[in-house]
Amino acid sequence: MTANRLAVAAVAVLGLVVAVDALRSPAEQDAPQAPSRLVIDLQSSRETASQSEALLAGAFPGRRPDTLAVSKVAVAPDELVAVGVSHVPGNRRAAAAVELWDGDELVHAFRVPPGSFSRGLWWAGDGEAIATIGWNGRAYLYDRDGVELRKNAYVAYETG
């Protein structure tokens, strides 16, 4: 009799797991997995961008901002340049983006939360991902297409 109860309980738990999995949103089910063991290349960070402000502003995703600030720059091993740009207007909402440049050619640009690279922007995993640290200490990890790599991502860092 105890074995039957145990079997019924096991089937009930399995049914509950299946039901919870079915209720998860498709975005949660299909969210890209962060590659394992990405190492942030601290040497990839640079002081300045090689592109003009007009070129960077023209590449900003969405509506072109009136003004633009280059906050962070990082160079991947294959020489792809990631530029963290932000627009902080007087009375409107701030906007930020990461632009990827191969020489003078824009490869991709994607929006990121304002302030998400204020403490740093680097390449990770031999240039396969972009890692940032925001003003609040939160770490962000993106692939080259701008997709945030959320699951199983853990970033440890020291300041000072």
The answer to which of 20-24, 44-48, 64-68, 95-99 has the lowest mean pLDDT is 20-24
The structure's pTM equals 0.71
| pLDDT value at 29 more than 70 | no
- β-pairing, 105-112 vs 95-102, is antiparallel
Q: How far is 75 from 79, CA to CA, in rounded Å?
A: 6
Average pLDDT, the chain: 78
Handedness of CA 156, 77, 143, 112 (dihedral sign): positive
Q: pLDDT tens across 78-100, in order?
A: 999 999 999 888 777 889 999 99
Q: What is the pLDDT of residue 64?
A: 78
| pLDDT value at 15 more than 50 | no
Most confidently predicted of 1-10, 14-23, 127-136:
127-136
- For residues 13 and 93, the model is more confident at 93
Q: What is the pLDDT of residue 23?
A: 54
- pLDDT > 70 in the chain, percent: 70
